Each structure stands twice: as C-alpha cells, then as structure tokens.
Amino acid sequence: MNVNDSVTKQKFDNLYCCRESILDGLKRTTDVMFGGKQVVVCGYGEVGKGCCAALKAMGSIVYVTEIDPICALQACMDGFRLVKLNEVIRQVDIVITCTGNKNVVVRENLDRMKNGCIVCNMGHSNTEIDVASLRTPELTWERVRSQVDHVIWPDGKRIVLLAEGRLLNLSCSTVPTFVLSITATTQALALIELYNAPEGRYKQDVYLLPKKMDEYVASLHLPTFDAHLTELSDEQAKYLGLNKNGPFKPNYYR
C-alpha cells in the first residue's frame, strides 16, 4: 500500500509540516535572518509549496525552479518568480532543493555561489545536491557544529552546507507529533486494510490508499481543532452522486 502518495501524507507531512520545519531547520543550524534574503527553491511540489509559503511570509525574496508547466504556473500565480537555477545562482543567499530528483545542484552551480550561501535539501534522500563533487583535494571542509559544514574554496569563498545534503527537516529539525499522528494513522489503517481484505481484492501490486481511509484519517484529527463537519442531506448527496458518508473525492484526487 503506497502511503506516501496518499492525500493525508502529501498535504500534511509534505506541505504543512515542511512549511514549518524549513524555518525551524535553518534557524537551528544557522540562526539566519530571513527578511530580505534571496532564496531559490528548486521544485514546487507539495514540499516546495510549503517552503515557499513560509519564506515569503518571513519577508524573503523567493525564486522557484520547475520542470512541470502546471506546477510552474502555480508558482507564478502564487507570486513567485520562475527562473532557471543558473540565472540566479550567483546572487541568492539560500538554495533549497525539494524535487525528488538527483543532481539538481551540481559542482558547476556550487562553484558559482556567493560567499556564505546556505545550501540545503528538503527533497528526496541525499541525491539532489552533488555533495560527492565537493570532496576534492582543493576544497577544505570545516565542521562548524553538528550538521553544519563550511566548504571552503582556494580563494577563501565558503558555502554553508547543511546535513551534508541529507533531508534538513529530519536531520536538523523536528516533526510535530500532530503530523506524525496523521502519518502513523495512515500507515496503521493501510496495514489493517491489507490484513482484513478478502482474498482477491488486492493482487501482487502497489495500491494507493482508498480515499475513504484518507478521509477517515482526516476526520479523526478534526476534533483537535474543535472543527464541525457539515453533513450532506439525502437530496444533496443524490444530486452529487455521492454517499453521504463519503468518499467525497475520486481515487485519482491528490
């Protein structure tokens, strides 16, 4: 059961949690002030959206790189300048990767960064920043504190590399218990569903969590906010072609 692509995981862990943990991780490691800083966020998926929203709210000037025209248009409509990385790499103060890809920031980009540029990864594993290319004889590594390295060029320029390119929010920040509760509940329900499912419901394949379960996870957490759901009348449910108790979204909704 693919829990990672469920709506509750994507929205809450990836979007809302990263919106907070990006600031937390950067503050804990660098004590940087965000107001007026130029930041480039590579990727405008759920994680990128969260990071950009938080940085914009703190007064940073935020640029976005994207390969997907739909996500790119979303970034533009949200008020962010869409650029190619090499167009802004010399001027930005912070570089954040969150694409899920590899080699998003390579040695050529690192060589062109300004002195003191902070480089970190919020995306997939440790593949997004080509850290291996920095382990060469002409560059000096200086451990400043836990999870913070200065990589120093022969001319004295240095960049601040966080967590050696690993996930910033897992290495340098914390994950709030509320978000952990959502993710753990999703995983637990997926296991219960697989265990209780009658023979033949699932073949040897990977399945998305049924929307009914996604919605159930969300409903379990609504009392935290003293939130009250509106209920459909029989007439409204018939008009929409829905069951009164859900699911309210099609299986392809993300």
Find all residues with CB under 8 Å of 217, minimum gap 6, and list them. Answer: 8, 182, 185, 186, 189
For the cut 90, the answer to whether the pLDDT of residue 252 exceeds it is no
Nearest Cα neighbor of 130 from 164, 96, 154, 159 is 164
Contacts 24+ apart (CB under 8 A), 172-178: 172/25, 172/26, 172/28, 172/29, 172/147, 173/21, 173/22, 173/24, 173/25, 173/28, 174/21, 174/24, 175/13, 175/17, 175/21, 176/17, 176/20, 178/221, 178/224
* CATH class given for the domain over 7-172: alpha beta
Q: Of the given ranges (2-11, 95-104, 155-164), which has the lowest mean pLDDT? A: 2-11
- What residues does CATH 3.40.50.720 cover in the chain? 7-172
**Global model pTM greater than 0.85:** yes
- Tens-digit pLDDT profile for residues 122-177: 987 789 999 999 999 999 999 999 999 999 999 999 999 999 999 998 888 888 88
